Amino acid sequence: MTALAYRLVFCLGLALFAAACESAVMRPQFAEFTYGHLAPIDIDVARVEFVDDYAPPLAEPHVEHLFPVAPAAAVERWVADRLRPVGVQRTLRVHLEEASAVATPLASMGGIDAWFTTEQVETVAGRIFARADIVADNGRVEGFATAEVLRSRTMPEDLTLNERDQLYFELVEAMMDDFNAIFETNIRTYLRAYVR
């Protein structure tokens, strides 16, 4: 074999090895957020509608589009599982105004200590804001309730992609736990005339 042939065989072997290593890395499967195990909130309306008014920028510093479960999808599922129409008129319209996550770099401690410490390199701050309107059949808003959730996580410098996805998932999970409690309380408080 010529030197060129040896080089080609060697490069082909490296490419096959790299492909094998890449396929060996399995991305984790994350559970779907569901709320069917919780008692539904019966509302005296004929319909429940979900309106996603939030357009993710899909660019830094926003990172919500990288999450294994998008915050917006989790809120939409919450609305479908928890809010049950039991009336014959009116609409409960839930507007998702924000479901964001923004990454902010953290300053390095620097010096020799940085060599022996796993530093936190960024903070990811999530925000969910939603509004539920009771809309009469003539279009007039008869009442509303809102919910705002703020949560953040710091990310260490040595995260693998799978570990990063796990932290993103846990952030959405924590936000949705808060959202579930806050929105239910506010709906029962501010829309109590429509809760059955």
The first and second tokens of residue 6, run together, are 């040896």
The CA–CA distances, whole Å, from 59 to 62, 65, 132 equal 6, 9, 28
Q: Which residues of 9-47 are buried (b: 16+ CB within 10 A; e: fewer)?
A: eeeeeeeeeeeeeeeeeeeeebeebebeeeeebebbbee
Query: What is the model's pTM?
Result: 0.81
Question: Residue 80: CB partners within 8 Å, gap ≥ 6?
Answer: 48, 50
Q: What pLDDT tens digit does each residue of the chain (196 aa) get?
A: 565 444 544 545 555 555 545 445 577 788 888 999 999 999 999 999 999 999 999 999 999 999 999 999 999 999 999 999 999 999 999 999 999 999 999 987 665 655 556 678 899 999 999 999 999 999 999 999 999 999 999 999 888 999 999 999 999 999 999 999 999 999 999 999 999 9
Range of the structural domain that residue 183 is part of = 3-194
Question: Residue 15: CB partners within 8 Å, gap ≥ 6?
Answer: none
- Number of structural domains (the chain) is 1
d(CA 186, CA 192): 9
